[in-house]
Each structure stands twice: as structure tokens, then as C-alpha cells.
Amino acid sequence: MNTANLQLKGLIMAMAAICDAIVEKELLTSGELNAALSKATKAIEEDDDHELSDANRAAILFPIRVLQLAEEAGRKGERLTFSDYAKLVAKLT
């Protein structure tokens, strides 16, 4: 596997843990975190300046969707692996 992909996996999982900590420390509520991630998703989906293929757009949205799923899992007290999240994102798209 490409080393950059492995680095991105690590970065995404680190961001998921940081998001959990932000909610646990009550710096943001779960709803506020979801709103921020939804805002990022919407900005990408509405970006007409770049003619992206559906596959490229899905690739850009992937880490945001993982973070949304991680936030949802955290609310339920679940801790999933990167592979678990990847499978869930694949089902959503």
C-alpha cells in the first residue's frame, strides 16, 4: 500500500480521537461538531469551481464521513477501527 495512504489513515484516526476529546471536554457539543462536519461536506458538494469526477469528490468527502461516523460511534460508546469506518462509508455511498 502507498505510504501516503497509511499516513492518511493515521491522520484520520487521530482526528477522530481529537474530535472525541473535544466533545468529552465539552468544548463543542456533539451537535456542533456534526454541524461543522456537515458544513465542510456541503462546501465540497457545492464547489463548482473544480470539475471533479464523482470518484474524486467521494475521495475528498471520505475523511469527513469517517469523522461523522466516529462522532456517532463515540456518542454510543463504541470504538471502531479504520477498516470498520471504511466499510461503513462504502455502504453510505
- Separation of CA 8 from chain center: 12
Checking 81-86 for CB contacts under 8 A at 24+ apart, the result is 82/9, 82/12, 82/13, 85/12, 85/16
pLDDT at 46 over 90: no
Q: Which three cell numbers stand for residue 28?
A: 463543542
Give CA–CA dist 74/76, Å, rounded. 5
pTM of the model: 0.86
pLDDT at 18: 95
Q: What percent of the chain has pLDDT over 70?
A: 97
